[in-house]
Structure 1
Amino acid sequence: MAKDFLLEIGVEELPARFLVPALEQLQELAAKALRENRLAYEDIICCGTPRRITVLARGVAEKQEALVQEVKGPAVKVAYNSGGEPTRAALGFAKSQGVKVEDLVRRSIGPVEYVFALKKEEGRPAAEVLPEVAPALIEGLHFPKPMRWGNLEVRFARPIRWLACLYGDDVVPFTLAGLESGRFTYGHRFLGGGRLEITRAGDYFDVMRKAFVVVDVAERRDMILKQVNEAAAREGGEAEIDEDLLDEVANLVEFPTALCGSFDERYLEMPEEVLITPMREHQRYFPVRGANGRLLPRFVAVSNSGSENIDTVRAGNEKVLRARLADASFFWQEDLKAPLEGKVEGLKKVVFQESLGTVYEKVQRITALAGYLSVRLGANAKQRADTLRAARLAKADLLTNMVYEFPELQGVMGREYARRSGEPEGVALAIYEHYLPRFAGDALPCTLPGKVLSIADKMDTLVGCFGVGIEPTGSQDPYALRRQALGVCHIIIDGGLVLSLKEMIGRAYNGYAGRVELKLSLEQVTAALEEFFRQRLRVLFMDRGLPYDTVDAVLSAGFDDISGAWLRAQALEAFRADPAFEALLTAFTRAHNLSRKAGHGRVDPALFETAAEEGLYRSYREISSSAGPRIEARDYPAALSLIAGLQKPVDRFFEDVMVMVENERVRDNRLALLKNIAQFIGSVADLSKIVVQK
């Protein structure tokens, strides 16, 4: 009869970010362990709180499935004589495998028939197997920062304090980390009433709930969301729900109780971000907005101590937030005593990176690069002026009291202080936007000065770091270079900006000349960064839904114009659904394969000997003259439709013309024609990368 298997690992409070990855690992490990041990089961549930990581496997079989092995022996003609009697070979094989010679069976492998020994291993009881499985599950869990405690060699996220392990009604005995497994667990630290006995594995959830522990992460999250919204509604507002914060809070408590607190209205005079940052980032509170969308002097916190002492808990949370907001208010007032411009000179004493000079020098470089990009993008006089002014002030808020205390507010405070220093709104917005995007899925700059400044800042960092040999490794990227390169790609693609990646790298590299000596040459940095961007673009395009072969075909044709590469990829993917695509692919493949033998690309019409050659050359000239302007105008769908017209002339050429003739001049001329056609089509995409579905 199948029974439930329970393993609960009781620990000191886990960091919130450790819990969900641990449960995902445990789910995979438990399924693999039961499968490899031939223990059938119905379902596996993994759940946990800051104080426990639990796996419950329902319906685990009482006994392992029997293992039947077939061991190959000698060929039948060797194992038996002409009279059908077993030879010494058969007898020896049967004895070595511990089976009777008459139990040997015959199996054909190809044309040869062999004898096999069938060895059946009876399954062991689950009660014998699970004491081996349980400690292996615990030791198989990995954490970002495991620790040791006492004089033990065991490494885990936090010290293990108890182990509950049951199979049905019985304890699964094992020892780990100086602890013996048992049937005892612990409820909520404050509400749960101490040590609790689990009579049967399947009773686990009921036992926990009675002890004020909600072990299911998703259930806790739903409870918190409902309670937070209800608490805010009682104050006439609506909670601002941050999904990441909601996930984090769900992993910080075992029995959530939401409460609404308040703070002094005078703090609402400060920018919203100054209030939200300490609430959300430091205190894990949810801000509350009124019907007009403005912040109310309220917040919602989630307690882990029940509702009995809710007023005391509320007062404590209000006291902590009051102190933080008082500090923020002081910093705000102090920072406003001097204009943002007054902070710029101080950047000469702030190191950007030990090999790349000061932040002030970085400001000078990005100002020059932003000026160049503004011109390239056709910015008007006001946009250029806003860009250059914003570039000068972009890093000034790093020296403000507010950003020193709350680094998350860099850019935000630069925008606010610029406004209060009388700077144009375009300048203030560009200062804020030049940090965007800060993370995956973040907003992108909306204004042209913001886009330009963000690209300039990121390209300066990328070129400088690559220039001194700082490149991301598989697990290390301390300067977030992958994120910065992706940010550049997103801004250019979503903004439809026409910029040359190679030119930007060159301009950024030249910005270091005479100030900082880079270890690598411009050619080395360009090659490394182009490959770095190619990898980022490949991931980005595929994340946006394009198949890998479409992406590879387009990137192989070039991506110096990043937004153009994205448009080509979209056009190619759409064109793949057109019936004409398959014919175009065939034509390109035939031309491409032979064109690789061409020594040059010069075509002499006087050497044509057939009407098919002349027809193909004429079609190529006509179509290239029509499609070329479409390509320059980035109208790639129209260009591909025109290029598809080469299919019939190419087919006729291969039907009527022998390319590899003995006459060297005629042969080279035909190869040159094919090379021109392949290169022309390849300017949109290298169709040789397309995988043909059979």
Structure 2
Amino acid sequence: MRTDNLLIEIGTEELPPKSLANLALAFRDNIKTGFSDNELIFSHVIWYASPRRIAVLVEGLSEYQADKHVEKRGPAIATAFDQNGEPTKAAQGWARSNGIDVDQAERLKTDKGEWLLFKAQVKGQSITQLLPELVEKALKALPIPKPMRWGSKSTQFIRPIHTVTMLYGSDLIHGKVLDVNSARLINGHRFHCDAPFELDCADNYLSQLKRHFVIADHEHRKSIILEQVRALAKQENAIADVNEELLEEVTSLVEWPVALVANFEESFLAVPKEALIYTMKDDQKYFPLLDENGQLRSRFIFITNIESKDPQTIISGNEKVIRPRLADAEFFFNTDKKQTLASRLESLKTILFQKQLGTVYEKSERIASMAKSIAVMLGADQDASHRAGLLCKTDLMTNMVMEFPDVQGVMGMHYARVDGETELVALAQNEQYMPRFAGDNLPTSDVSICVALADKIDTLVGIFGIGQTPKGDKDPFALRRASIGVLRIIVEKSLPLDLNDLVDASIATFGDKIRSENLQTKVVDFVLARFKAWYAEQGISTGVVQAVAVNRPTRPADFAARVEAVKSFNTLESAESLAAANKRVANILAKNVFKEELSFNKELLKEPAEIALAISVESVEARIQPMLDKSDYTNALIVLAELRQPIDEFFENVMVMADDESVKRNRLTLLSRLRGLFLCCADISVLN
């Protein structure tokens, strides 16, 4: 059977840059699924994408499906024929569905009865027959939130489709996909090519497009851009400010990338660099240049989509475009400095945080009060924490932040310095939002920590307090992100804070605005539940986290210490045996619950194995208590692991459910003490 490479390209108008790669990846995955579902054999599927196309190359594709031997059992003979031996409607319908008459069916005899049987050798279909429908199905399944129609057609797609090309080796596969006939025509670069070209073979796709000024391999195009940017930055004796999101977007905007350097007036550098960088990166898709100290330079790199004979014209054009944007930032900064952050507090009363929870002004007052309470817990500067919390949302009312929302916080820091606020207060204006995303930096000062925690806890308590908890993937107030932020700050900074105390302090600031039963429990449980996802990203098993969660330690730093201890314990040779023993103990105790508290009596110990276990338990209890006092759970579990042998011997030689009631109760009490020993760290039975 012939195998060859298959190219499928969908040529379109310019596709949305922020979703280009995801569309192409989804197209590849849908094609793989479609081919696999149709039992087409292939070795690999590669995706390509540029602004005006998505494509896949299916390597080592068989031309035909494999032939199949089909057997379909029909109705039982008893129901397939009536009393006169004539086929029933059930038999006739079954035969018709298989394209035969009833008398052409074979018989299947087993010890359980006899049935009609259809046997056939079904020849596999060719990709020529299957491909158009498979491709159309793959395109219709793409994640397109708002499909569009064009011209007089009823067909819908994310952008108008101009060409469809399906080449198996050098053979064109005919057919329609979304009302467009498959052809060899491929569009090259919009400006460097006057007309489409004919593709002779699937294997020549990349090379032919390159001759027509298109780098179709998205990842290769990205690497070219990064290489060019770094090379130009080196020439400028500077460092290019490149982040993955911007690099990805720029890659999706061009087909033939050419990096150039431009500049702007140095006078603009008097404006805080964050505002200038924001407008360069987010509005213009430029790469700012920084010096070795991280300070912004008055030059930047941009990527153009054409190879111009007169690059200076393109450079001048981009300099003209950026100048008004930077001038706006300069104007906003100079205007904002005329008014202090403190003077903007009253204007926060005009912004609603949430209908039931009041204005941003009220939220600021709560944050200030809460930040001061946390400062007491941590021994931080109470006055600075209160002041920083009170001012933390005032920069929302500045012209700069209204125009460039992403610089909130950082502009508050700059304006606080201009106003003469202390450095701790100024720094907290920016660090209150940390961590903003996974892997982001944490607040650096105690005052910043107090404000950051106060802000996040306030949002959690407030939203839970009015019953608007996250459901499914809907989380409009980003409560999951806030919870992860709280955990990261407390754990990574090793803070002695208890979530119960934090939530109680926050609840007290709301007055009668919130009413929810068991509010403290709901919020704390929600925050603790984030540990599962956080540790999953670190490769720590759910069982380890769940073993700790059973105890519900509400001090995040303590929770983390227990997780590390259980993770270490789980690698010990005795871990599996001890987990199984703990599970056995838990099951026994669950079935034997006594209303009154049982007391342990050494005099009732009879068997050598139970005496040995009792001695070991008593010894371990004394040894691990100092460790538990210092939250040294790792060494405590190592000591507990020494109980493996006496536990195994106990269960092998001792009957817990003795006939003598007092002996039975005494043995259950011993097991309860044993269970309590392990539970002081985590529920090890969960690991089993």
Do the two structures share a fold, i.e. TM-score over 0.5? yes
Separation in 1, partners of 2:266, 2:463: 46
CA displacement at 1:316 relative to structure 2: 1.8
Q: Distance in 1 between matches of 2:459 and 2:482?
A: 8
- CA offsets 1:290-317 (integer angstroms, 9 cap, x no match): 3444321100001112223422221121
| Deviation of the 1:215 alpha carbon | 0.6
Matched residue SS, 2:490? helix
Q: Contact conserved, 1:433 with 1:454, CA < 8 A, in 2?
A: yes
Displacement of 1:372 in angstroms is 1.7
Q: Normalising by structure 2, what TM-score? A: 0.90
Residues 136 and 178 in structure 2, CA contact (< 8 A), matched pair in contact too: no
Where does 1:341-490 land on structure 2 (aligned, <5 Å)? Answer: 341-379=342-380, 383-490=381-488
Aligned equivalents of 1:683, 1:295: Cα separation in 2: 54
Secondary structure of the corresponding residue to residue 579 of structure 1: coil
Cα shift at 1:41 = 3.0
Letter in 2 for 1:391: G
Say yes or no: does 1:333 pair with 2:334.
Answer: yes
Aligned residues: 670
Relative distance call for 1:361 and 1:4 in structure 2 (3 A) is same
State the shift of 1:167 in Å: 3.0
- Is 2:230 the counterpart of 1:229? yes
Kindly provide the amino acid, as one letter, of the partner of residue 536 in structure 1: R
What's the CA shift for 1:619?
A: 4.1
User: Greater CA deviation, 156-165 or 410-419?
Assistant: 156-165
Spell out, residue by residue over 1:614-661, the C-alpha distance to the aligned partner (whole angstroms, 9 max, x if none). 664554344334323322311111211232344444445445543323
Q: 1:80 aligns to what?
A: none
Tell me the TM-score normalised to structure 1 length: 0.89
Q: Deviations over 1:103-122 (max 9, x none)?
A: 9899999x999998652111
| Structure 1 position 478, deviation (Å) | 1.7
Partner of 1:63: 64
1:579 counterpart (564, 573, 577)? 573
SS at match of 1:60: strand
Query: Structure 1 452/601 Cα, relative in aligned 2: closer, same or farther at 3 Å?
Result: farther
Partner of 1:689: 686
CA distance in 2, matches of 1:243, 1:313: 25
Q: CA deviation at 1:677?
A: 2.5
Q: Distance in 2 between matches of 1:107 and 1:218?
A: 59
Higher mean displacement: 678-687 or 198-207? 198-207
Instruction: Give the distance between the partners of 1:573 and 1:258, measured in 2 at CA.
Output: 49
Q: Which residue of 2 aligns with 1:518?
A: 514
Name whichever of 264-273 and 114-123 sits farther off. 114-123
1:331 Cα deviation from its structure 2 partner = 1.0
Distance 2:308 2:75 in 1: 77
Partner of 2:593: 598
CA gap of 1:601–1:570, structure 2 versus 1, over 3 A, is: farther
In the other structure, the counterpart of 1:321 is: 322
Structure 1 gap segments, 5+ residues each: 76-87
Greater CA drift, 318-327 or 666-675: 666-675
Look up the match of 2:522: 528
Structure 1 stretch displaced more, 618-627 or 137-146: 618-627
1:268 aligns with 2:257: no
Written as runs of structure 1 = structure 2, the 5 A alignment for 1:112-131 is: 118-131=119-132
What SS class does the counterpart of residue 166 from structure 2 fall into?
Answer: strand
Relative distance call for 1:325 and 1:107 in structure 2 (3 A) is farther
Judge conservation of contact 2:155–2:179 (CA < 8 Å) in 1.
no
Does the CA contact (< 8 Å) of 1:39 and 1:61 recur in 2?
Answer: yes
Aligned mates of 1:94, 1:411 — CA distance in 2: 74
Alignment partners' CA distance in 2, 1:139 and 1:676: 62
Q: Residues 249 and 348 (structure 1 numbering): CA distance in 2 closer, same or farther, change over 3 Å?
A: same
Q: What residue identity is the alignment partner of 2:47?
A: C
Secondary structure at the counterpart of residue 604 of structure 2: coil
The one-letter code of the counterpart of 1:687 is I
> Structure 1 residues 365, 621: CA separation in 2 closer, same or farther (over 3 Å shift)?
farther
Q: Which residue of 2 aligns with 1:218?
A: 219
CA contact 1:8–1:55 (8 Å) conserved in 2: yes
- Distance (Å, rounded) in 2 between the aligned partners of 1:181 and 1:160: 12
Relative to structure 1, the CA distance from residue 268 to residue 74 in structure 2 (aligned partners, 3 Å threshold; closer, same or farther) is: closer
Against the structure 1 CA distance between its residues 102 and 388, is the aligned structure 2 distance closer, same or farther, given a 3 Å change threshold? closer
Aligned-partner Cα distance in 2 for 1:502–1:433: 24
Q: Answer yes or no: is 1:609 the counterpart of 2:610.
A: no
The one-letter amino acid of 2:227's match is K
- Larger mean CA deviation between 254-263 and 674-683 belongs to 674-683
Q: Which amino acid aligns with 1:520?
A: S
Q: What is the aligned counterpart of 1:667 among 653, 664, 672?
A: 664
In structure 2, what residue type is equivalent to 1:660?
A: M
